[in-house]
């Protein structure tokens, strides 16, 4: 797992992965032109990506075409997923906050403004999660479908 993190920690390799994700299979020349990098730089980083299983190459005569291989990235996503979901201690903290608010209301203190802030914060968090999920779904769509549905590649 550490090898993949090392590989994707390089900004040039991340740029290459994004270009291949968004543009599909591409030649070294197309990537050089698209990213404004030199051919040796692109080739060097593609070699690292290929050796670590993040891209695959298809040869057609003297030309090589690269595309993203997602299976190593799915393994990273599976590893990261538990960190992105609230754990038992975070869930308990939310429950404790709710209990404190209910107790304060029962005790006759003014919690309306605190409750309003918490509701607004919760609505913002829900909207952010929905927006992020929507962007992720759009990102995973094939470029042709994405362009047709959202009028952008």
State the virtual CA torsion across 43, 76, 21, 16 in degrees, nearest 10: -30
Own/partner contacts of 129-138, CB < 8 Å, gap of 24 or more, are: none
pLDDT, one tens digit per residue, over 95-150 is 556 555 555 544 444 445 555 566 666 666 766 777 777 777 777 777 777 677 66
Residue 47, pLDDT > 50, answer yes
CB 17 within 8 A of CB 8: yes
Q: What angle do CA 8, 74, 29 make, to 5 degrees?
A: 50
Residue 1, pLDDT > 50, answer no
**Mean per-residue pLDDT of the chain:** 78
The residues near 54 (Cβ < 8 Å, ≥ 6 apart) are 4, 7, 8, 13, 17, 68, 69, 72, 73
**pTM score, two decimals?**
0.55
**End-to-end CA separation in angstroms for the chain:** 31
Task: Give residue 109's pLDDT.
Answer: 47
């Amino acid at each position: 797992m550490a090898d993949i993190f090392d590989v994707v920690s390089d900004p040039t390799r991340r740029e290459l992965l994004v270009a291949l994700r968004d543009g599909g299979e591409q030649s070294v020349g197309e990537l050089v032109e698209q990213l404004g990098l030199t051919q040796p730089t692109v080739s060097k980083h593609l070699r690292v990506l290929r050796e670590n299983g993040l891209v695959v190459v298809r040869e057609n005569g003297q030309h090589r075409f690269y595309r993203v291989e997602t299976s190593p990235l799915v393994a990273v996503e599976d590893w990261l997923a538990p960190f992105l979901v609230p754990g038992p201690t975070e869930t308990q903290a939310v429950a404790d906050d709710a209990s404190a608010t209910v107790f304060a209301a029962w005790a006759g203190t003014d919690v309306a403004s605190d409750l309003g802030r918490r509701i607004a914060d919760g609505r913002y968090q829900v909207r952010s999660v929905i927006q992020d999920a929507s962007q992720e779904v759009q990102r995973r769509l094939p470029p042709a479908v994405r362009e047709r549905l959202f009028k952008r590649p």
